C-alpha cells in the first residue's frame, strides 16, 4: 500500500528523538545511494549498468559450483566502494549511538558503511563485506578489512579473481547472505524493535521480507524517511516523510545540537 505523505518537520523528529529512551534505526539502500552507491535493481542499479545476473552472482548453489561470477562482481563493487565515504546520515546515527540514544542499527545493506561511520551495534540482515571466512575449513577468517584489502587480495590471488584460503585452498566467501541462505540476526532485530520507543526507517521502501515486517512488530512511533513509495500503511503511530536523508537529518542534527559533532567526525 502506498503511503500518504504528511508534513513532519525535522524539528518534530528531533523532539521525538530527544524524548525517546530507546531509538532503533532500520536502513535500506537509500542511505547508501546518497553516498554514491547505485541500488542493485533500480534503472541505474548494478545489475543493469554492469550487466550482472543476480541469479548467478548471489545464488549460493551456483557459488559453490563456480564462485567466479560473484568474485567478478566483488572486484568491481569493492573498487567502487574504495572511494566512497559514509554519508552525513551514517555519521549522525553513529553520534546518536555514542550518546546512548540509539540502541542499534538494523540494515539491509551489504556495504559496511555503518561500520566505517563508527557504529558498533549493527545487525546486518543480509550480511556484508565487513567479514569473510573460508567455506571449507572455517579456520581462516577476516573482519573489519577495508575495501582496499579486498581489491588487493583479489588482484594477487593465485586463482584470480577468486580468493582462496592460505591454509586449505578453500574458497573464501564474504559474509554476504546469498539467495538460498537465511538472513542473519532477525530474532535480535525483532527483539530490539519490539522494545524500542522510536523506530527510524531510513531509505527503505520496505519491499523486502523479512525486514519489511519490523515496523509492523512494534507499538513504538515509527518515522519513515524515504524518497519514493513505501509499502507500509498509515497508522496513528506512523509518520512518513519524502525527503533527501542527508538534508533532512542535517536539520534534525542542528535541532538537537549535534550538527557540530557529526561534522567534526568527518574531518
CA 224 to chain centre: 15
Q: What is the pLDDT of residues 159-193, one digit of tens each?
A: 667 888 888 999 999 899 998 899 999 999 999 99
Q: Does position 87 have pLDDT exceeding 50, yes or no?
A: yes
Q: Does position 96 have pLDDT exceeding 90, yes or no?
A: yes
pLDDT-based confidence at residue 247 (cuts at 50, 70, 90): very high
Domain ranges of the chain: 1-36+87-126+180-267, 38-83+128-176
* Rounded Cα gap, residues 157 and 75, in angstroms: 12
Assigned CATH for 38-83+128-176:
3.30.1600.10
Q: What percent of the chain has pLDDT over 70?
A: 91
CB contact set of 122 (below 8 Å; sequence gap of 6+): 104, 105, 107, 114, 115
What cell numbers appear for 192 in the block? 530490539
* Rounded Cα gap, residues 113 and 118, in angstroms: 9
User: Which residues are catalytic, by number?
Assistant: 126
Q: Does position 201 have pLDDT exceeding 90, yes or no?
A: yes
Provide the pLDDT for residue 2. Answer: 43
Q: Does position 106 have pLDDT exceeding 50, yes or no?
A: yes
pLDDT-based confidence at residue 267 (cuts at 50, 70, 90): very low
SS3 for 38? coil
| Residue 166: how many other CB atoms lie within 10 Å | 10
Provide the pLDDT for residue 129. Answer: 87
Q: Which of 48-57, 58-67, 133-142, 218-227 has the lowest mean pLDDT?
A: 48-57
Q: Which of 206, 209, 205, 201 is nearest to 183 (CA)?
A: 209
Provide the pLDDT for residue 44. Answer: 58
Q: What is the pLDDT of residues 9-62, one digit of tens each?
A: 999 999 999 999 999 999 999 999 888 887 665 555 555 555 677 778 889 999
Q: Specify the fold of 1-36+87-126+180-267.
A: Rossmann fold (3.40.50)
CB contact set of 10 (below 8 Å; sequence gap of 6+): 248, 249, 251, 252, 254, 255
Amino acid at each position: 500500500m502506498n503511503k500518504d505523505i504528511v508534513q513532519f518537520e525535522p524539528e518534530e523528529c528531533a523532539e521525538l528523538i530527544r524524548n525517546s529512551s530507546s531509538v532503533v534505526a532500520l536502513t535500506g539502500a537509500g542511505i547508501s545511494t546518497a553516498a554514491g552507491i547505485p541500488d542493485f535493481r533500480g534503472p541505474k542499479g548494478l545489475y543493469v549498468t554492469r550487466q550482472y545476473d543476480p541469479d548467478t552472482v548471489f545464488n549460493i548453489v551456483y557459488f559453490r559450483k563456480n564462485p567466479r561470477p560473484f568474485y567478478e562482481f566483488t572486484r568491481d563493487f569493492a573498487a567502487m566502494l574504495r572511494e566512497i565515504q559514509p554519508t552525513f546520515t551514517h555519521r549522525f546515527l553513529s553520534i546518536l549511538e555514542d550518546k546512548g540514544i540509539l540502541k542499534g542499527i538494523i540494515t539491509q545493506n551489504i556495504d559496511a558503511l555503518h561500520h566505517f561511520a563508527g557504529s558498533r551495534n549493527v545487525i546486518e540482515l543480509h550480511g556484508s563485506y565487513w567479514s569473510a571466512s573460508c567455506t571449507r575449513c572455517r579456520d581462516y577468517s577476516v573482519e573489519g578489512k577495508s575495501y582496499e584489502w579486498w581489491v588487493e587480495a583479489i588482484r594477487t590471488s593465485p586463482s584470480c579473481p577468486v580468493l582462496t584460503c592460505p591454509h586449505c585452498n578453500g574458497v573464501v566467501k564474504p559474509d554476504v547472505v546469498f539467495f538460498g541462505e537465511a538472513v542473519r540476526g532477525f530474532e535480535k532485530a525483532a527483539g530490539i524493535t519490539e522494545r524500542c520507543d522510536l523506530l527510524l526507517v531510513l531509505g527503505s521502501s520496505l519491499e523486502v521480507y523479512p525486514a519489511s515486517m519490523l515496523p509492523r512488530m512494534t507499538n513504538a512511533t515509527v518515522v519513515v524517511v524515504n524518497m519514493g513509495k513505501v509499502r507500509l500503511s498509515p497508522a496513528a503511530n506512523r509518520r512518513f516523510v519524502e525527503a533527501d536523508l542527508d538534508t533532512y537529518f542535517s536539520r534534525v542534527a542542528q535541532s538537537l545540537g549535534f550538527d557540530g559533532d557529526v561534522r567534526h567526525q568527518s574531518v
